[in-house]
Each structure stands twice: as C-alpha cells, then as structure tokens.
Amino acid sequence: MDDRIIKSINAFSEAMRARAPEKFSFDLFSMFPFCCCEFASLLLGRYLYEEHNEIAINVITGELKENPDQRHIWLKIKTRNIDLTANQFDKYLPEVLITRRGGWHDQYKIIKNTRFNDEFDADFWHETKREMRADYKFLSCKARGSSPNKRSNRSLRSLGLAKASP
C-alpha cells in the first residue's frame, strides 16, 4: 500500500484518538474505539476518498467465526484490511491495524463486502447526520493539519454544503 495512504490513515486515527471523548458531537464516538467500528470506518473511508479518490475502498462486515453474534466492520483497500477499532478487542493490538489475508481479521467470516459510498449517510436521521458531519469536519481538518474553522471547497462539497466548481 502506498505510503501516502498509510500516512493519511494514521493521521485520521491520531485525530480521533486525540479528541477528548466529551468533545465529539456524535455520542457513540465518545467511546472510541469501543462500539463504533462502523461509524469510525465510514468517516475514515470518507477521508481517504477525499484525499486519495483514485483508490477503491470497500467496507467489510464480518462475524466472528466462534461467535456469529459478534460483528465487526473495517475497511479494505486492495489486499489490505484497515481497522481503527480492532484494539477494542485486544489492548495489545496497534491503534491502527493493517493486515493482509491470514492476519487478525481471518477470525471473522465476511458476510458483507461493499464498495465505499461517499453518500453513506444519506438515510441517517437528520440529527445523526449533523453530528457525524460536525465530527468529520473537525477530524479531517486535524488530520490534514489545518484549522477546523477553515474548510477546503472539496470538504464543503463532500458534505453537500457547497456547489462543485464549473
């Protein structure tokens, strides 16, 4: 995997981990990395989509082979699994787990593998969408090393808040 992509993944992870739990708008993120694998993966997917729109990103849902009631969600780019929340299950795992086939994720049976869609939040409740977008604004700016009060037109467009340039 390209070093630029790994750098982006790590920057977004660092932004999430540095945010004080009470500062998140979307309450579930206050427990990060616990209980928010789906939403953390979707926000990371949006960030990677904006930063590296040439890559294909898939969202993977797996159920634990030994306990099908336990599900987990992560991203996949080419042959690599990218997981911001795996360390919720094992504190000795790295904060960002990137594996290939045969790695930690093999304990899951893949039940869903879909292409990342930047419009993933289209059907979310208005309040949930507003909260997640506020968190995304902050996290993406921090990951890019810019002020959360200054957004690029690309970020504004991705949130549906500005028109695309002609």
Flag whether 98 is in a domain: yes
pTM of the model: 0.86
Which residue range forms the structural domain that includes residue 29?
A: 3-158
Structural domains counted in the chain: 1
Residue 11 lies in a domain: yes
Query: Is position 26 within any domain?
Result: yes
Look up residue 34 and give its DSSP letter.
Answer: T
Q: Hey, what are 131's tokens? A: 């909260």
135 phi, psi to nearest 5 deg: -65, -40
165 found inside a domain: no
pLDDT tens profile 27-37? 999 999 999 99
Residue 55 located in a structural domain: yes
pLDDT in tens, 5-32: 999 999 999 999 999 999 999 999 999 9
SS3 74: strand
Q: Does residue 62 sit within a domain?
A: yes
Residue 68, preceding bond cis, omega within 30 degrees?
Answer: no
